[in-house]
Chain A
């Protein structure tokens, strides 16, 4: 029986693994990429929620701290405008960073294989 188990083990590790490894690039550019995109969209939503850009844009003309006199309103408007700009910039930055995720996802395998190949060629 132990020998039997060992054979099973070898069969699993070698045969299944090898086949699997060949299928894996396919997965990377199909199902895997789809999942990566979904993940990116979720992250973008979370970031938007964090910086609340839409919320600040919607309340651009609302006075801050309930200062409803005209001075308050003017100050609020500029304050909010400034906030909105900063928030948009930060959100934009994060957005770009997040956008790198699917791009890296696509490029990474090719780049890595390319690098390995070069290193091999050069060492030979």
Chain B
């Protein structure tokens, strides 16, 4: 009876077969009667060895019927309840007549034959009947089929299986409409009514989407997605107006279209996959958004890709789950003792420990510890390790990955006693090392610790927790051989006198613990940084508290941006903590700026991270776009000539800002070649000023200072053991503190070749590991290396009238290879040859430099003008074929600035005077008119 020809479909775990009745084309009706072929089912879905169909009629009459039925049910139940109360009042009156409550235990009381008792007994019958009705109503709802854990293969039916279906047992046939929540049913009915309003002959997914917009849960999803409801409503309205139907029929018996029926089943499938009990409106939304191409396009247009919709729905479900969990938690927490005692009262008082610690189980019992979400795997691993060996556990991991939160999660589980026997009916106590050692010398601290250990052993119901356990190391009394605090602890842990949890960061673990005896007596469990999607889920679980505290709402974009951007741009902390910090700050920021009930959007988070890192992350404004498009003009205000170099740099900056670059490499790596004084460094400075905000916003390394191999440590820091515990280097520290910057490597050919190898990795992967083992991100720097290598060759060939392209080719093929390895040259995005300056360019530079002098004079109220003759004179004096424009600065200083300084000091020039530079070094002063 079963056919297995559609094997390709069966690979998909959730593939299903849709079968439409050929006779009624899926409508379930033939000549106004139920179709005899399909028994009115019209369309069925075969999945997981069951047959699913939509069994609820949607017609004016059936909607009315359901409404009346609902009202009737409420009316009957209400009446029954009312009668029960009346009966009870009669009962109370009867007690009063009989002479008080003490008569309740007499036989004559219960066998009394009065009117009051008659009414009471009837009310009891009604009460019992009410109980029955409530139970019956709860069983009317059919739960969504439970998802199987095993991977079953879907075997499909034949193409015309209706006879087969008729023979199938009732248990296989599932009416999905019975698993829909009343709200979900109402949304379908509304869609049907809406189709009527638009005179449409059938209900389509668009109608369902439109009707869903009126449900608060769906509103919440769209609000989280940051979608404006008005825009959405307009678009949906347009979509409804553009529905086309082949034949126009009277709308009174509108049907659920085949596509709509499929969407209803897909909504059921969504609930099935998510292991929900009933099909909700959000499941319907998800089904419409996933399966209807027009709805998908509409949402996409509003910036809500299907992945986002799905993640937001997951968010709604996480919050529901947390709510349910907290209810269960409160119930189970009732049995956990409030004091220091266990339930069997075997424990003893621990006054010293109590003084230096905090009871985490007690905090958890009263709801002060947040639930730990998405860390079930880690907690399971910890429990497994504990049960296997009984040894204490040390959690290591980078700062902010959630070690303490996991311990908090364990404390909550200890409250509900959902833990291995080794820590059952115990309390988790967090010892404060700082309190332990404060105010006393090490020997007294050790005394305190010994005391605490004795108390723990005596009491027997304590699990100790020590955060940052490495802090206990090295606190020793007296000489070098004496025990330190950690060793006192180790002596107790090693003979399993009690159980302890501890945490340490990965770096501290490697540095202090790994090779110490502490590392040997505790089992290490590494807590890894959660992946992006896991971190998003963790954040979603945290938002409720932050939203409540700040009276704002988070959009999904905000959460996503907080995780993605902090992952990309903040490297000294780890997920999820760094992202949580960001959303906490974003909530405060938005509350302050937009007021209460505002929505925190992705751009708010981007703005915040932008402010923290100095990296432009917000979307490009019109003004900035304009600026970027005119970058060449802006740069040429300072740089004369060198068009190729300016063009390449500008293009790289535009690529970077438009996010079209490779984000695993620096923004750009350039090598500027050319003789001295042609503007290599000047161009770098200009870029720093134009793009990074200030000329000084760059890390400048004179590579001539790095000619020794050992200078590598100055650059990236020294590792532990090299004369200390390790340190960060000049370069790595500078970029770590300001990751969005320009890195200028002057005269790179002078550096030691080992140092050049370091830059190989930097240019390729955009990261560098410093002496402390930290990975420093270089993906937001512009790396510019300048070099004078091949200068004589360039000058020679210029004299021979070679063009720049020819010179560059020859240089790359031959000259440069003497200085740099080919793989080094290959790493650059562009090698730019700066050609030597000509006199006309030097004249232009002179103008720019004089403008700078004029700017300085203007601040003193003095006007500076220069004749063309004067400018040419200065340019000629300042130009040297060998040094380019470098002598020009000195010439202007000597011939202009020095004279002006003397005049100023002598009082020859005053405010509003005009200084005119003329040929042959003459300076004329035009005095301003007296006022």
Contact = CB atoms under 8 A, between A and B. Distances in A.
Interface of A: 1, 4-5, 8-9, 12-13, 16-17, 20-21, 24, 27-28, 31-32, 35, 49-50, 52, 55-56, 58-59, 62-67, 108-109, 112-113, 115-116, 118-120, 122-123
B335 A49 contact: yes
B344 A27 contact: no
A4 B64 contact: yes
Nearest to A17: B76
B118 A119 contact: yes
B104 interface: no
Contacts of B425: 55
A10 to B, nearest CB: 9
Contacts of B117: 115, 119
A90 B304 CA distance: 61
B135 interface: yes
Contacts of A113: 125
B344 A55 contact: yes
A116 to B, nearest CB: 5
A52 B349 CA distance: 21
Given A56-B344, A119-B118, A112 B125 contact: yes
A12 B69 contact: yes
A116 B124 CA distance: 11
A24 B129 contact: yes
Contact of B344 (A62, A108, A119): A62
Contact of A66 (B118, B136, B348): B348
A20 B68 CA distance: 17
Contacts of A13: 72, 75-76
Given A9-B68, A59-B344, A119-B117, A66 B459 contact: yes
Given A21-B129, A50-B335, A116-B122, A31 B135 contact: yes
B128 A116 contact: no
A103 B131 CA distance: 17
Contact of A115 (B72, B121, B346): B121
A54 B168 CA distance: 51
9 interchain residue pairs of minimum CB distance: A66-B348, A59-B344, A12-B72, A66-B458, A8-B68, A119-B118, A24-B132, A119-B113, A112-B121
A8 to B, nearest CB: 5
Interface of B: 64-65, 68-69, 71-72, 75-76, 111, 113-114, 117-118, 121-122, 124-125, 128-129, 131-133, 135-136, 335, 343-349, 425, 458-460
A35 B135 contact: yes
Contacts of A50: 335
B90 to A, nearest CB: 13
Contacts of B65: 8
A52 B607 CA distance: 57
Contacts of B71: 9
Contacts of B347: 65-66
A88 to B, nearest CB: 15
Nearest to B124: A112
A122 B631 CA distance: 107
B113 A8 contact: no
A64 B346 contact: yes
B128 A118 contact: no
19 contacts: A9-B71, A16-B72, A20-B133, A20-B136, A27-B135, A27-B136, A35-B135, A50-B335, A52-B343, A56-B344, A62-B346, A63-B346, A64-B346, A66-B346, A66-B347, A66-B348, A66-B458, A112-B121, A112-B125
B460 A12 contact: no
A108 B128 contact: yes
B417 to A, nearest CB: 10
Contacts of B124: 108, 112
A113 B68 CA distance: 32
Contact of B131 (A17, A32, A59): A32
B135 to A, nearest CB: 7
A9 B65 CA distance: 8
A16 B425 CA distance: 54
Given A8-B65, A66-B459, A59 B346 contact: yes
B112 to A, nearest CB: 9
Contacts of B76: 13, 17
A5 B131 CA distance: 27
